[in-house]
Structure 1
Amino acid sequence: MTVDTPGPGPDPSEDRAGQERDEGPEAGLSDRDQAVLAVERRGWPGPGAKERAIRERLGISPTRYYQLLNALLDDPRALEHDPVTVNRLRRVRDQRRERR
C-alpha cells in the first residue's frame, strides 16, 4: 500500500488573487493595494457608483475589495503610504465596532 504525500502548500508570499506580496519593512505597497486606497480616497455620490468603479478599475468584487481594504488598515505600509485615509478609515471601523 502506498501513501500519497501531499504536495507543497500554497506559497505564503502570494495572496488569493495570485499577486505576489513583498514582505519586510522596506517593501512598499503593491500597485493593487495602492489602487484600493486610491478608490477609498475619492468621494462617491453613492454606493452604486463606488461598487461599479471597484469592479471596473480593480477587476474584483466589492466583497473582496472590502476584505483587502480591512487588511490594509492594519498594514503599517498602508499607514506610511496614505496616513490621512488609513487613519480616517480606522476611526470609522472602530466606531462601527463600538456600536455592535
Structure 2
Amino acid sequence: MTGTTEASAPGAGDAPGDDSGLGERERAVLAFERRSWPGPGAKERAVRERLGLSATRYYQLLNALLDDPRALAHDPVTVNRLRRVRAEKEQRR
C-alpha cells in the first residue's frame, strides 16, 4: 500500500510538481473558495460530500490558510480577497 492520497485525509501530502508546500486538502479548500456558489447551503453540502469536512472544520482550515504564506504564494488573488472580507467583518464588530 502506498499511503493515502485523499483530499480529506489528515496530513495529505503534496502533489507531484506542486512547489507551493500546501497539501491536497489545503489546495482543495482554496479551489472551493475560487468558485461562486448559488447559496450557502450548496457550498456546505459540497464541502461535506467532496472534502469530507464539516462546515465548521472547513472554515477553521480556511481561516488558518489566510495567515499561511504558502497559501498566499499558491493563490494570491483568492487569499487577498478573503483577507479583505475577513478584515471588513472584523471592523464591523
TM-score, normalised to structure 1's length? Answer: 0.75
Q: For residues 31-89 of structure 1, give each alpha carbon's deviation from its aligned partner in whole angstroms, at most 9, with x where no partner exists.
A: 00000000011000000100011001100100000000000000000000000000000
Structure 1 position 18, deviation (Å): 3.4
Which consecutive residues of structure 2, in runs of 5 or more, have no partner in the other structure? Answer: 1-8
3-state SS in 1 of match to 2:37? coil
Structure 1 or 2: larger helix share? 2
Number of residue pairs the alignment of both structures matches: 81
Aligned residue for 2:25?
32
Structure with higher RCO (Cα < 8 A, 6+ apart):
2
Aligned residue for 1:83?
76
Q: Which runs of 4+ in 1 moved over 2 A?
A: none
Q: CA RMSD in A?
A: 1.7
In the alignment, structure 1 residue 43 sits paired with structure 2 residue 26: no
3-state SS in 2 of match to 1:29? coil
Amino acid at match of 1:32: R
Work out the CA distance in 1 between the residues paired with 2:77 and 2:66. Answer: 11
Amino acid at match of 1:18: P
Aligned partner of 2:10 among 1, 15, 18:
18
Amino acid at match of 1:36: V
Structure with the greater alpha carbon radius of gyration:
1
Which consecutive residues of structure 1, in runs of 5 or more, have no partner in the other structure? Answer: 1-16
Amino acid at match of 2:11: Q
Structure 1 position 21, deviation (Å): 7.1
